[in-house]
Structure 1
């Protein structure tokens, strides 16, 4: 009861418990019904496949029977001894006797024949062979005649038709097979032979299949076109006409819906649900049926469903126990939190209980804490606002105002202690700004600000604030005035801050330190000085810590450009391709840049880039081939690189490419000459006057030099190459035209037939005529 009271008093716990229990109940029930549904479908599919296999075997047996009967009917109808019996108007006694003897021999040779009847239209007479037909005073003859010649009934030919010959109750005891001279339905205006097949022979397959298993497995039946059912034994449950019509309607509807000759349907008749598997036309106009009780068939499924519900019930009881345990485990942290809240903020006895559940109490406490945090956050924003104002617009405040604001907002700035301003600036800021998402930038800013303040506050009072997004400012209050080694004291702390930020966030920070400030109103000037010092990381490199003493020479330097002698010598070295001299001049230039003021460094490097570009442009004007690098990239170097070392390396690599391009171009010149010679030969091979001397005259070179150059490059003479081109063209004309051989010789630039024939045979192994004849044959 105590446990029940605990759960009853916890509204949120009740919701958790009920949700878990309901989910488990739904899952278990759904799983149980899904399993039984899948099992039922699986049993139906398996049963259908099994039934269709049985019916397929029976279809094969019936088809074989029908084929035997059809062959026999064809043989009988063409029998010369029976033809007179069918067609003669007057039949001699000997012919009649021979015909009867023939019918008797046919009956004796065919064990499945019950009897045989011949109808003679000319005589309007029926002849039969059985003893009943001959000795019962015409009763059997009249029955056959009434059935056969009934004008209201149309008998299909070459089809098994159920009839009753000997039985008086109307049940079939034979199948009639009518054979005429045409395939149209039989009429009394034509002669015919009627073969009566024993019903046992047709139903033998049904009987064997029905007798192989118990009655609970189902019944195998046959159905004619009208839906009447037949079996090897009398089955009262299928005897009524309404039952037969209902089964027939089920099958016809399924055939119409599926357009398949076989399948299975489930229906109700005689107050029983049954599964009917059917296969149409094993014998023309007949259908085989396999009827099974659905309840007996699904007995295993019903048992399985019952067992599944029992198991689900047991599992449900287990699930309730698990739900109680799991809900308490999930609720336990909430209970602990509630106890802590009540311990910290005990409610008064007269306080009105307004909460809906346990979470409402925490919601109230959260609202109070949120309000408190909002007040703290607002105060923090105001503090950072005034710190930024002190640094950027310090002239707006008097000394007295600044002291009042520091006291009012409890800023961690000591006075009258001396102050140092440190600026931590992000290296590679352009790349960082373009590739970093805004939420990550805010997180980095928050981390740098807090880590820097926490680490520096261990040594000196410190305030930090982010400015412009690319740097963080530290206002460090020195503990003692007159300390001369304050830079050396805080430098290790700044290095630790840099290493920590790089280790955790992969960010590199350069630091600038201002001079010591004794007046609060000088904070703005100290910030400007520290920021300017941080920019000199272009000289000292990434993660440098720079004070005013280190850049004193740079700030005092008034030079804004490099001497003209360095520019001139650098240009001359590049034009001559002398990389060593160009590297020396480039190193001199960057040595001077390291002494410039920050604002002049960028300008000087840009001017040097222009000098290199002008030199490259001048070189390219006098070259035949273009250089393989992009000249416009030179201007991006001062903007993309943030340190002098990176700029120097990039420009040095560029100068190396320029000097490599200035190497002697004899190889290029020779290649151009040889390509020109080959082009001339391909264009003018039909010219009789084309020769090595004429080509040398065209390219303005001596014949001997040109011949030696060509032979060294291609291991053949110009004349040999010329003959090669001419003979290839001659080969093409022989294969693709009907020109005379002498015309082809002239078109290829030859004037001497014997010379042309000798060259052609030397290359192709046959004369031009033989070559053409061989190609035309092949």
Structure 2
């Protein structure tokens, strides 16, 4: 009962448990019924296939039997010994004896024949072969005569007709096969032979096929075109006319629905559900029926269904146990949550709400809404608090001392009075790069984290309020309650360093801090904020993660110098032009040493002016050089904007000066290559000038002839004169191959005045005189 009470009090647990249990029950029952339905359907299909195979075999047997009887009937009809018995009006004794012997011989040769009779219409006499026909005093003869000569029923010829010869109950015990010379229905005006076929010969073979299995599966019947049923045994079930009519109706309707000559239909026969398999026309106008008890056929399916339900019931019990365990496991986190939540309303109120239809989740949602409302109120109050703190910092003159005290008390701000107050400004270093490479959501996270971490670490020692301003810096208002005069250096500075270290460790962010002087009046908060913010700007001088107090920048704020001496700028420019890196570095260091003493607002202007000095020097160097320097001049102006500390600016400009001085060093290889390229270009332009020589070329390029000759020989391993002759001879060769000029004209066009000298050089170069060379080229 105690466990029941536990589950009864947990409405959500009840729903989870009932849902899981119901789902399992539905799934298990559905799968069980689906399996048995599919099994029953499969069994029907298999049984139909099996029955149709049996009936197909029976159809073949009937067809074969019908063919044998047909051939036998034609043979008998044409038998010469039986013709007198059929047609003679007066029959001699010997013909009668021979005819009877012939009939006996035919009976002995055919095991399926029950008997045979011959009707002689001329004598209106019937002759038979059976013992009953001959010895029972004419009873059998009269029965045959009445059946055969009944004018109300004309019998089809060459058809199997069920008859009763010996049974008193009128049930069929043979098939009659009437044979005449014509194909029309038999009449007593013509002679005929009637062959009686043993019904057992047909039905026993069917029964043997049916009984091949472990037990009898059903009854095999034959139905004529009127729906009458026949079998070799007296089966009371099918004797009723209503039953025969019902089976006939089932088969007729199924044939009409499917249009197939064979199939199966399920229906009630004598109050029992049965499966009726049929095949029409195994022999003309006959239908084979296979009637089976449906319950007997589906006994195994029923047993399987029962077993399946038993298994499903067992699994259901197991599923219920699992569902209880699983439901509790799923409910356990909710139970833990309910135990941890402390509701704000009284216990009685909570109980009444639960009894009114709510469950655990409803109670949690109500509590959540209440907490959410409370949180919203706290958030709104927090926003208002931060608003007033920002107003104190930026527009402190708007408030009187009394107003500020009232607002602090009203909103519960953690600012103590009367007590000295310090304002700390925490700024993100390299903020421009941070702002351009950080997502907005991450910026909000960082701002929230820095504000809370700084406040939590500072509040351990002193009352403190923290607020974020403009996204790039955090303000800490620290109240020095009962603090000694050395509190700033002994306590505040170590805490600020811990804050810097913590933020860097967790978020890889660098913070610099500006610290104001101690403030004794609340109305001076805006002044303290301005002072701390101004001090934090001097990160430009002191570098990243510095903590800057007013004493550290006192000299900078008092310094009125706004520029460096012109001598430093002039010496720096001259050193760059001369390529003297050492002197340039010394002057640059002097300049930045002076920058470090300037007021913050004058530093950027002074550094920018220095970059203009360097740029003018670079422009002048590039204008006077023969070869260009691979240097981007406009980049110089971006250095003061890209760098945030004097150290970074100094290192960037120092590297720039080193690049400029390195470019000032003369390159002998570059100079010599340029001179030689100029000489070669000059030779190719003036090769036709007779006065072109090493001396004239040296005079043109302003070099001595020996120096130019040595330089050319060292570079190309050929003298300058040999190169001139090489160029001239190549032009002469081209003119000999492609022009009609005379040899002397060609010699003059190539800068030669002496024919013998030209011929000797040409033959030494190409192995033949100019005339011979032209002749060889023309022939080839």
Same fold (TM over 0.5): yes
Residue 614 of structure 1 and its aligned partner are, at CA, apart by 1.6
Which residue number in structure 2 is paired with residue 523 of structure 1?
A: 525
Residue 378 (structure 1) aligned to one of 375, 380, 384: 380
**Alpha-carbon spacing, 1:457–1:341, altered in 2? closer, same or farther (3 Å):** closer
Alpha-carbon spacing, 1:434–1:731, altered in 2? closer, same or farther (3 Å): farther
Pick aligned residue for 1:504 from 500, 503, 506:
506
Q: How much has 1:683 moved relative to structure 2? A: 3.1
Q: How do 1:566-605 residues align onto structure 2 when only pairs under 5 Å count?
A: 566-605=568-607
Pair 1:444–1:577, CA change in 2 (3 A): same
- 1:323-722 pair list within 5 angstroms: 326=326, 328-341=328-341, 346=347, 348=349, 349-351=351-353, 358-480=360-482, 483-664=485-666, 667-722=669-724
- The 1:756/1:591 distance shift into structure 2, 3 A limit, reads same
Contact residue 13 and residue 328 of structure 2 kept, 8 A: no
- Which residue is 1:242 aligned to? none
User: How far did 1:717 drift?
Assistant: 1.4
Matched residue of 2:426: which SS? strand
* Secondary structure at 1:441 match in 2: helix
Give matches, 1:713-752, under 5 Å: 713-728=715-730, 737=738, 742=743, 749=751
Q: Using a 3 Å threshold, how does the CA distance of structure 1 residues 20 and 523 change in structure 2: closer, same or farther?
A: farther
Distance 1:379 1:719, change over 3 A: same
What's the CA shift for 1:528? 0.6
3-state SS in 2 of match to 1:562? coil
Deviation at 1:584, TM superposition (A): 1.2
1:714-761 superposed Cα distances (whole Å, 9 cap, x missing partner): 332112223444455566678x85768947766655566765666566
Give the structure 2 partner of residue 70 of structure 1: none
How far the C-alpha of 1:686 sits from its partner, in A, is 4.6
State the Cα deviation string for residues 555-610 of structure 1 (Å, max 9, x = none): 11111111111112212222222221111111111111111111111111111111
- Structure 1 residue 9, shift from structure 2 partner: 5.8
In structure 2, do the counterparts of structure 1 residues 518 and 712 end up closer, same or farther at CA, with 3 Å as the change threshold?
same
| SS in structure 2 of the partner of residue 424 of structure 1 | strand
Secondary structure at 1:10 match in 2:
helix
Tell me by how many angstroms 1:359 deviates.
3.1
Report how far residue 488 of structure 1 moved.
3.1
User: How big is the shift at 1:365?
Assistant: 1.8
CA distance 1:327–1:631, shift in 2 (3 Å): farther
User: Structure 1's 689 and 370: CA in aligned 2 closer, same or farther, altered over 3 A?
Assistant: same
CA distance, structure 2, for counterparts of residue 321 and residue 397 of structure 1: 72
Quick check: 1:425–1:534 contact (8 Å CA) kept in 2?
yes
- How far apart are residue 543 of structure 1 and its match? 0.5
Preserved CA contact (<8 Å) 2:344 2:367: no
Q: Is the 8 A contact 1:425 1:471 kept in 2?
A: yes
2:560 is paired with a residue whose SS is: coil
For residues 541 and 8 of structure 1, do their structure 2 counterparts lie closer, same or farther at Cα, with a shift above 3 Å needed?
closer
Q: Tell me, what secondary structure is at the counterpart of 1:378?
A: helix
Q: Give the TM-score normalised by structure 1.
A: 0.58
Q: Offset of 1:503 from its aligned partner? A: 0.7
Q: Which has the larger radius of gyration?
A: 2
Change (3 A) 1:5 1:649: closer
In structure 2, C-alpha distance between the alignment counterparts of 1:269 and 1:770, rounded to whole Å: 112
Q: Give yes or no for contact 2:28–2:312 (8 Å, CA) kept in 1.
A: no
Report the number of matched residues: 507
Q: Quick one: structure 1 residues 456 and 702, their matched pair in 2 at CA, closer, same or farther if it must change by over 3 Å? A: same
Instruction: Indicate if the aligned counterparts of 1:510 and 1:544 stay in contact, CA closer than 8 A.
Output: yes
| Gap change, CA 1:447 and 1:22, over 3 Å in 2 | farther
Query: Cα gap change, 1:335/1:750 in structure 2, threshold over 3 Å: closer, same or farther?
Result: farther
Please give the residue correspondences for 1:187-336 in structure 2 after superposition, counting only pairs within 5 Å: 326=326, 328-336=328-336
Distance 2:598 2:739 in 1: 84
In 2, the alpha carbon distance for the partners of 1:430 and 1:462 equals 29
Contact 2:467–2:476 under 8 Å retained in 1: yes
Contact 1:16 1:327 in 2 (8 A): no
State the alpha-carbon separation in 1 of the partners of residues 447 and 537 from structure 2.
Answer: 19
The 8 Å contact of residues 741 and 768 in structure 1, kept in 2 or not, is answered as no
Aligned equivalent of 1:227: none
Distance 1:13 1:369 in 2: 27
Return the match for 1:10 from 10, 13, 23.
13
* Equivalent-residue separation in structure 2 for 1:627 and 1:407 (angstroms): 69
Q: Which moved more, 1:430-439 or 1:699-708?
A: 699-708
CA contact (8 A) 2:17 2:323 kept: no
Whether the 8 Å contact between 2:453 and 2:499 is mirrored in structure 1 is yes
Correspondence list, 1:127-142, <5 A? none
Q: CA deviation at 1:425?
A: 0.7
In structure 2, the gaps of 5 or more residues are 36-258, 264-303
Work out whether residues 12 and 359 of structure 1, in 8 Å CA contact, stay in contact via their aligned partners in 2. no
Q: CA deviation at 1:648?
A: 0.8
Q: Distance in 1 between matches of 2:26 and 2:565?
A: 86
User: Aligned pair in 2 of structure 1 residues 321, 746: CA closer, same or farther (>3 Å)?
Assistant: farther
Give the whole-Å Cα distance in 2 for the aligned partners of 1:269 and 1:727: 110
Distance 1:466 1:422 in 2: 12
Shift of the 700–13 alpha-carbon distance from structure 1 to 2, 3 Å rule, reads same
Instruction: State the Cα distance separating 1:694 from its structure 2 match.
Output: 3.3
Structure 1 residues 697, 420: closer, same or farther in 2, change over 3 A? Answer: same
**1:423 counterpart SS class:** strand
1:67 maps to what in 2?
none
Decide whether the 8 Å contact of 2:11 with 2:360 is kept in 1: no
Show the counterpart of 2:69.
none
Whole-angstrom distance in 2 between the partners of 1:376 and 1:447 = 18
1:673 to 1:437, Cα distance in 2 relative to 1, 3 A: same
The answer to whether the 8 A contact 1:539-1:594 is kept is yes
CA distance in 1, matches of 2:478, 2:26: 61
CA–CA distance in structure 2, aligned partners of residues 418 and 635 of structure 1: 45
8 Å Cα contact 2:21/2:320 also seen in 1? no
Q: Distance in 2 between matches of 1:331 and 1:733?
A: 106
Matches of 1:16 and 1:537, distance apart in 2: 67
Q: Residues of 2 paired with 1:576 and 1:758: CA distance?
A: 54
**Matched residues in 2 for 1:316 and 1:761: separation?**
115
Root-mean-square deviation (Å): 4.3
Whole-Å separation in 2 of the counterparts to 1:776 and 1:353? 124
Equivalent position SS for 1:351:
helix
Give 3-state SS (helix, strand or coil) of 2:563's partner. Answer: coil
Distance change (3 Å), C-alpha of 1:337 and 1:557: same
Gaps of 5+ in 1: 33-267, 273-305
User: What displacement does 1:321 show?
Assistant: 7.5
Structure 1 SS opposite 2:353: coil
Change (3 A) 1:15 1:772: farther
In the alignment, the residues of structure 2 paired with residue 404 and residue 19 of structure 1 have an alpha-carbon distance, to the nearest angstrom, of: 65
